[in-house]
Structure 1
Amino acid sequence: MGAALLATDIRLDSKPVVIKELISDNVDQDRRLEDVRNFKREVATLAHIDHPLVPNVTDHFQEGTRYFMVQEYVDGENLEERLNRLQQPMPERDALICASEILDVLDYLSQQMPPIVHRDIKPANIIIGSKDRRAHLVDFGIARAEEIKNAQRKQTSALGTPGYAPPEQYQGNADPRSDLYALAATLHHILTNRDPRNYPPFYYSAARSLNPQLSPEIEGILTKALNNDINQRFQSATTMKQEIDTLLRQRFGISGNLDSYTLGTSGPMRALTNPNPTSNPGQTMTQVAGPNPSSQVTQQSQISAGLPPPPPVTPFVGIGGPLMTPVQPLPNINNQSGPNYAYQPVPNPVTPYPSSQPQLGQYQPQPNYQRPPKKRRTGLIFLILLLVFLLIGAGLFATYSYLGANKTADNGIGVTMMNGEPIGISDGTVAIDTTLADGSLKTQAAQQLKQHKDNPNAATSFLNEATSQTSNDAEALIYKEDIRVINSGTPYVTLVVATMLSGDQVGTGREDLQGAYVAQKEFNDSARLANGTLVRLLIANSGSKTDYVPQVTQQIVRLQQADPTFVGVMGWPYSGRTQAAIQTLSKGQIPMVSQTASSDALINASPYFFRVAPNNKQQGIQGALYAEKDLHAKTVAMFYDPSDSYSQSLAEDFRQQFEGVDKNKIIKEQYTIGNQNSIAKAIRDTLTQKVDMIYFSGYATDVSTVLSNLPPGNLPIMGGDALYQLGGYQSSARANFNRLRFTSFAYPDEWDVFKLSAQKPIFFSEYSAAFNPDGQHPGGAYGYTRAANDVILSYDATVTLLTAYNMALNTGKKQPTPQDLRQALLKINGANSIQGVSGQINLGPNGDPVEKTILVLYTDSMGRIHMDPTPLGRFLK
């Protein structure tokens, strides 16, 4: 219903703008008036949108019977054009960044009063700007405010684009959740190159069956968002964006604030610059594409032949290569043509807008605020005081209600919703991680288990269905195994798995549960514990904030006091969470074995703290030895951020070892994490000196800048375990991938690289059997047949706890206590050391592993990971 024109605004230094003209091919007068109303609605809608990723309306005007709207021009390439140009899927990392930015727009739209529904999200309506490299949402031609969603309209406007529009939109019942479906359909298209318009609507093949390179997490997000039942999808853009951002951080190492919109930063919408709807003396138009009355022309089809070429585009780099090229003309979508309809004079406005909206061309200033009379102010103050008292009373009542409604908290088991996150300990009566495809089934299982603990058949049935739908969901598998354990009639031991199953670190939490479950299942199925004792796991979630850890640790203490089967904690994986928990657990004399917390600050922090991963000091020392002996480095430029604890401590550990050898030299180069300019400056300084190696103490997203800016040569770059996130690397870094090395605590192929395939632990076959039982996922798929390093280390930590518990059982103790478990953990050394999947586990008197294997990984020019065959430390016991 419109033609897009590229124009220059001579009032603003010839700034390029887009002028959209209404074109109607309807001969029927009523239909034609409906087209005009729709166009005016688009103007009114966009005039009130103030988001940096939506082109602003800068003006609108009428010339005779022709209606025009002026918008900012977004120079770039839309996603449909990109797919047509490259003929291959977009890399997952790039697609997720686009999705996160569009979800920020949708979150903003949903918060408007009334909420705005775009109704036509698809690849052609998302433009990647060539200047800011961000995803912009365009073409609000059929957008609606939710309160008028049942207004009569043309069917094509109501339906959106087949293949992307959800089922309810065909019934005229769209709401903000409908846009989430359309965005998911768009994501599915750009990630798989499967055009949904060429297939029956409302059906999408499993994304990973079309593109095996995709992560299991994105497939789960797509499955949930593309549910035909609107109530089973993500219920808000915020929730879906949280999942996308979590995946970006966990899989691709992209951290920081991914939001684009900050409330109040854009300022108020200014008055329209041309209130006269019949003229526009300050604007000149250059028609780019002749109006085609039968095609729906959107902003992305602005440019055609006859214009000078656009300026060079700065590529948006990602693992898959440049994302943008100069914009090309979009072909006629419908491949149709027809005569232009000559407008007849139409009264303006055609029909009045709702009373809450100004008419087209009218500016209605808000009335000046006037102070209420003194008597009214007195009454207002009284009302405010009354409201304060009511709020205090409500708070007291809520506290009383919480204590009364959560009597299970007396034994430590219970979950409290805190800022939308389920924080606490679950025994299966609460489903914590509900964002996977089987989330609703786990919730139903939890409800059944809570209501019918004596008859868990219904709960087990729901859990069976959940694991059938999402075979690698360890939370559901743990709950199912726990039901079997409790109803077996045999003695059992209880461990708490402490991790993060909501918020930014949910991916790590899922991997922690996978490792713990494989250990639980292995010990139960093979009767590894004495006296037929089985293993029960409780799941403790501290969510997205370290501040939630104290509440969870207090619950663990109450659990220890109430449940004699409970003996210890596996977790937390992060050093900050561990530091927040360690003192409370120590006072309760509760032992904890962490899988990956490596901070030097945890050395000798508590007699009840143990870990299976080496501390940063050991990692820094081994890295320095490798640099000297294998890379023959004598002078090293050490990049570090003194304000970041990980970067600073690892760098200091490396420096002390490296400089301790005669004639070795460290040149310190400080940078700021996330600041490319500071990294570039450090590179320039380094290149003025003769160095043998760069030691980069930091994270993958920043070392990528180093790799991208180094001149040709063979100067090696080395770093720590935080560089084991290759998804976070830019494609421009590929040329120097073969220079990169980093230390790591585990790697799924290490047994094969060490030529110990015949001695590989049963863990590897158990992992695939647990999470890929039907063989539906190909070999080498992370999360199904291939275990991530966090899974391996969580398995080793759980096995360490259970081995120590078995040692206590074998002393004649019928029901060992947490103190007994601690004493047994101190004996896991020498002849009693454990052969873990990540290497030997030989605990020292301070709880740290002694001579634990540290690996060196490196990448080839294609970005594939390889492992140096020489282990640093002792691998076999």
Structure 2
Amino acid sequence: MKCPYCSAETRDNVRFCGNCGKNLSAPLTNNTPSNSGITVSSSLSSGSRLQGGRYVVKKILGQGGMGAALLATDIRLDGKLVVIKELISDNVDQDSRLEDVRNFKREVSTLAHIDHPLVPNVTDHFQEGTRYFMVQEYVDGENLEEHLNHLQRPMTERETLICGSEVLDILDYLSQLMPPIVHRDIKPANIIIGTKDRRAHLVDFGIARADEIKNAQRKQTSALGTPGYAPPEQYQGNADPRSDLYALAATLHHVLTNRDPRNYPPFYYAAARSLNAQLSPEIEGILIKALNNDINQRFQSAASMKQEIDLLLRQRFGLSGNIDTYTLGTSGNLGATQASTAQTQTSGPNYPPTQVAGPTPIPSTPLPVQPTPTPTPPPPPPHTPIPSHSGASLTPVQPLPNFGPTSGSNYTYPIQPPQASHMVVQPPPYLVQPPPAKKKRRGGLIFLILLLVILLIASGIFVTNYYFVGANKPKPVEAPAIGVTMINGEPIGISDGTVALDTTLADGSLKTQAAQQFKLHKDDTNEATSLLNEAITKNSNDAEALIYKENIRVINSGTPYVTLVVATMISGDQLDTGRDDLQGAYVAQKEFNDSGRLSNGTLVRLLIANSGSKTDNVVKVAQQIVRLQKTDPTFVGVMGWPYSGRTLAAIQTLSKSQIPMLSQTASSDGLTNASPYFFRVAPANKQQGIQGAIYAEKNLHAKTTALFYDPKDSYSQSLAQDFRQQFEGTDKNTIINEQYTIGNQGSINKAIQDASTKNIDLIYFSGYATDVSTVLSNLPPGKLPVMGGDALYQLGGYQSSAKANFSRLHFTAFAYPDEWDVFKYSAQKPAFFSEYSAAFNPDGQQGGGKYGFTRAANDVILSYDATITLLTAYNMALNAGKKQPTPKDMRDYLLKINGANTIQGVSGQISLGPNGDPIEKSILVLYVDEIGRIHMEPAALGRFLKQK
């Protein structure tokens, strides 16, 4: 038989099509496509019933090429009004129709995970026959396009700014989701002013996308938006949260000028004040900046644009009502909280309390255009301020713009407390006497005395309030210890599984959904676990997903657990290093949990701290770790950071709070004795600098070496100094210094050109793989070798153009997957190697790659060693009678990992000295052969096997 939906051949008596998955036993309707692939248009009308009669259609609100919007009642909820969106696909091609279905399901998934009071919630979704339906809350109100048509004139600047501030609050929230959500179709018709709450609600996320693959080479041609409102980059298949700011600005320009941009060439907007002279210069400046065709010249975040608009609302109109924030203090002015004498409500479980203001009636006839007032401070309130529960006074403000017949009063806290120098105390009217005759000097004197007394009393009240009432004000609430902030498109912060950090892998969207489920339902983690299982099946080498899954198992086990933070870079240009770090930490976590290696049945939980591509973010994350220490007694220490510069940035903050940090690969000499709470399993640069210089002289026969280094980078500068000191130990060798700037290809090429004019035998590159890749790509012909340190062992950092000269490369390293075999210790290889393959290549299908699936990379091995070192110290504390070891206990027992307590790590013995450095840690030398394979020299500096 043939499937009536896709015409595929199917076996008799099967319920579902093996090709399209449709239910073959469902009755066919006039909505069912024929075998020709032509879809009949919807026959739903008023009175139609869906979902077994639960939903009764009242009317069709609208219908477009991809769907119909229906107003319906939910009879299970006492006839509550809802909006049902129906997918209608006119595509004849089966693949195209399936793509329509996928897009519709994407919209459902996108909206289902948005939790903002100004975005209608999805309450249900279902399929009937070949049709797909989504049910949303109904927002009763008027959209801005309808409102403009009703007014027949531009909206006032004041009501437009309030509307814009509220939409920006939504966009700020969307930009902070993981991954961020870009609406892509903001326009007047998609902003509804609610009749009841008089707030701006953002609707129609039909082409919204979660930016799961940042900067990927893909086109979003189905998400062009509406011409006139969409920014230029959206037509090129690119969009990010700043694109929505452009579309919002185009919307604001439209409603402020009544100039419809769809009737004019795109990307051109006349000066707003040339169309509406009553607008302020400030709003025109905001529009000009937000409508810049260059995405980098616009506002770079919704929060920054909202701040400008809110400032204009305060300065020009003297009000802060209706511009409060819903997004946990990430935008707007938290002091601008509204209050009502009638009602207070909570905006949802994830939002702070929001005071609901009573609306004000709007006349049924259009209002005349009022001239814009001069920006002066508002007059004082005409009556006595109303006291609030906190002791502050509530001052009446102007009524807010209204789009529906409602009533009430609106108050707001004063924006700024009055300053003493600006206070003018007026005496009560009954104390003001008529001016006496000049000869009655005594009466004037009495009046002055009374006035002085009043001033003294007022001053006393002010001082009392300032020093006593003010002293009792609640302290600012610290930001949460768990959570991320989007900084330049990167999720910076700490995740316990409630945020997906690395969303660029194939399973990114599944991890994001799992994180949302875990965040919303920590008491029921089945759905989150199911999504993580699906993610791991799709991408078995994703350590982040595996860590979150293991964490859920740990917290649901009912047994005690210890928490470590893995601090690394899981976004930006060092993403591969971060992935390796997570892989190593996960193998250690799983090994300890499965084998019960910690006493008292204690399990291991890992949190992931991401500082992204910028060292500047490290201090912010370190401060979060300090807050974590105050709130989570299971937290005891940090494994990380992998880079010296980031480690140095974190040390001071963590050490002040006595939080131990053990780095896997940071090797700068400046870290020796840097803090009594810092340790590392990788030796200092001094050791590999010495080893590298010896190898350069004896094995590469170098006499004159061009030394490339960045004097401003801790790792590069110290490694270069150590190499120079050893290499110039005899008069026979010469160093030619070539300075460059990390990440600056121009400076590297300039150094190459200069070095090529010298008679050199070797380039020693003290730096990172991404930069030595530029050297290899631009080397002059010949066999001039290039050598460097452990940072060159990051295979994901090499450009394809560098591969031609890859065989010229030599470098020192702290670990290598074949070192046990090269040293002829194959029979003693630790379980790590089989555990690694079982974790990330469970079916033996993965072939390897940048992430490493069958052979653990250098950073994976060292991260594993660092994690087991921390856990060993914790176990020593447990065995010593510490019921719940503290971070300070961890530091004390890390100092005891030496002598008889030396650990056998995968990278060699781990024995920690009092200065935080490993004792006699082995160092390797690796080189690349003619066909690009990496080999290890058979000799090593230091001790590999611990002494028995």
For Structure 1 versus Structure 2, the TM-score category normalised by the shorter chain is 0.5 to 0.7
C-alpha distance after superposition, 1:549-600 (max 9, x if no partner): 3343333223323333221111222333322322221111111111122233
Are 2:393 and 1:462 equivalent residues in the alignment? no
- 1:850 corresponds to: 919
Choose the corresponding residue for 2:619, options 546, 550, 560: 550
Letter in 1 for 2:692: G
- 2:575 corresponds to: 506
Are 2:412 and 1:481 equivalent residues in the alignment? no
Cα offset, 1:767, TM superposition: 0.8
- 2:154 corresponds to: none
Cα offset, 1:678, TM superposition: 5.5
Aligned CA distance change for structure 1 residues 743 and 162 (closer, same or farther; 3 Å): farther
Give the whole-Å Cα distance in 2 for the aligned partners of 1:174 and 1:817. Answer: 47
Range 800-809 or range 830-839, more displaced: 830-839
- 1:621 corresponds to: 690
Alignment check: 8 A CA contact 1:411 1:561 kept: no
Q: TM-score, normalised by structure 2?
A: 0.52
Letter in 1 for 2:502: D
The 5 A counterparts of 1:856-867 are: 856-867=925-936
Cα offset, 1:751, TM superposition: 1.9
Cα offset, 1:169, TM superposition: 7.0
Give the whole-Å Cα distance in 1 for the aligned partners of 2:578 and 2:556. Answer: 27
Alignment check: 8 A CA contact 1:415 1:424 kept: yes
Choose the corresponding residue for 1:415, options 452, 468, 483: 483
Cα offset, 1:820, TM superposition: 1.4
- Structure 1: stretches of 5+ with no match in the other structure: 1-146, 152-157, 177-229, 246-258, 263-352
Give the whole-Å Cα distance in 2 for the aligned partners of 1:378 and 1:665. Answer: 63
Are 2:576 and 1:603 equivalent residues in the alignment? no
Choose the corresponding residue for 2:209, options 235, 252, 267: 235
Give the whole-Å Cα distance in 2 for the aligned partners of 1:482 and 1:523. Answer: 13
Cα offset, 1:379, TM superposition: 11
Choose the corresponding residue for 2:895, options 826, 830, 834: 826
Aligned CA distance change for structure 1 residues 791 and 617 (closer, same or farther; 3 Å): same
Aligned CA distance change for structure 1 residues 725 and 162 (closer, same or farther; 3 Å): farther
Alignment check: 8 A CA contact 2:897 2:911 kept: yes
Give the whole-Å Cα distance in 2 for the aligned partners of 1:364 and 1:815. Answer: 65
Alignment check: 8 A CA contact 2:541 2:851 kept: no
Alignment check: 8 A CA contact 2:497 2:518 kept: yes
Partner of 1:755, secondary structure, is: coil
Cα offset, 1:421, TM superposition: 4.4
Cα offset, 1:518, TM superposition: 0.7
- 1:647 corresponds to: 716
Are 2:365 and 1:428 equivalent residues in the alignment? no
Give the whole-Å Cα distance in 1 for the aligned partners of 2:748 and 2:93. Answer: 45
Give the whole-Å Cα distance in 2 for the aligned partners of 1:371 and 1:457. Answer: 57
Which structure has the larger Rg? 2
Choose the corresponding residue for 1:491, options 550, 560, 571: 560
- 2:31 corresponds to: none
Give the whole-Å Cα distance in 1 for the aligned partners of 2:92 and 2:931. Answer: 41
Alignment check: 8 A CA contact 1:430 1:443 kept: yes
Cα offset, 1:801, TM superposition: 0.1
Partner of 2:334, secondary structure, is: helix
Give the whole-Å Cα distance in 1 for the aligned partners of 2:552 and 2:914. Answer: 37
Indicate the structure with greater helix content.
1
Give the whole-Å Cα distance in 2 for the aligned partners of 1:375 and 1:411. Answer: 38
Cα offset, 1:846, TM superposition: 1.2
Cα offset, 1:477, TM superposition: 2.0
C-alpha distance after superposition, 1:633-683 (max 9, x if no partner): 333222334455443332222111211234322122334556666555545
- 1:442 corresponds to: 511
Aligned CA distance change for structure 1 residues 406 and 873 (closer, same or farther; 3 Å): farther
Give the whole-Å Cα distance in 2 for the aligned partners of 1:378 and 1:667. Answer: 57
Range 858-867 or range 424-433, more displaced: 424-433
Cα offset, 1:366, TM superposition: 6.6
Cα offset, 1:732, TM superposition: 6.0
The 5 A counterparts of 1:265-284 are: none
Range 621-630 or range 414-423, more displaced: 414-423
- 1:797 corresponds to: 866
Aligned CA distance change for structure 1 residues 546 and 679 (closer, same or farther; 3 Å): closer
Alignment check: 8 A CA contact 2:807 2:928 kept: yes
Alignment check: 8 A CA contact 1:700 1:729 kept: yes
- 1:386 corresponds to: 317
C-alpha distance after superposition, 1:322-362 (max 9, x if no partner): xxxxxxxxxxxxxxxxxxxxxxxxxxxxxxx9962469xxx
Alignment check: 8 A CA contact 1:593 1:801 kept: yes
Letter in 2 for 1:414: I
Partner of 2:692, secondary structure, is: helix
Letter in 1 for 2:316: L
Give the whole-Å Cα distance in 2 for the aligned partners of 1:171 and 1:562. Answer: 42
Give the whole-Å Cα distance in 1 for the aligned partners of 2:351 and 2:269. Answer: 52
The 5 A counterparts of 1:174-573 are: 235=209, 240-242=213-215, 356-357=263-264, 370=274, 385-386=316-317, 389=320, 394=325, 395-397=332-334, 405=350, 413-419=481-487, 421-573=490-642
Cα offset, 1:382, TM superposition: 7.9
Partner of 1:428, secondary structure, is: coil
Cα offset, 1:430, TM superposition: 3.6
Aligned CA distance change for structure 1 residues 686 and 167 (closer, same or farther; 3 Å): same
Alignment check: 8 A CA contact 2:563 2:634 kept: yes
- 2:459 corresponds to: none
Alignment check: 8 A CA contact 2:752 2:775 kept: yes
Give the whole-Å Cα distance in 2 for the aligned partners of 1:168 and 1:442. Answer: 22
Aligned CA distance change for structure 1 residues 678 and 528 (closer, same or farther; 3 Å): closer
Alignment check: 8 A CA contact 1:527 1:533 kept: yes
Partner of 1:397, secondary structure, is: coil
Alignment check: 8 A CA contact 2:745 2:771 kept: yes
Give the whole-Å Cα distance in 1 for the aligned partners of 2:691 and 2:206. Answer: 50
Give the whole-Å Cα distance in 2 for the aligned partners of 1:756 and 1:837. Answer: 12
Aligned CA distance change for structure 1 residues 782 and 749 (closer, same or farther; 3 Å): farther
Aligned CA distance change for structure 1 residues 727 and 484 (closer, same or farther; 3 Å): closer
Aligned CA distance change for structure 1 residues 416 and 382 (closer, same or farther; 3 Å): closer
Are 2:701 and 1:632 equivalent residues in the alignment? yes
- 1:746 corresponds to: 815
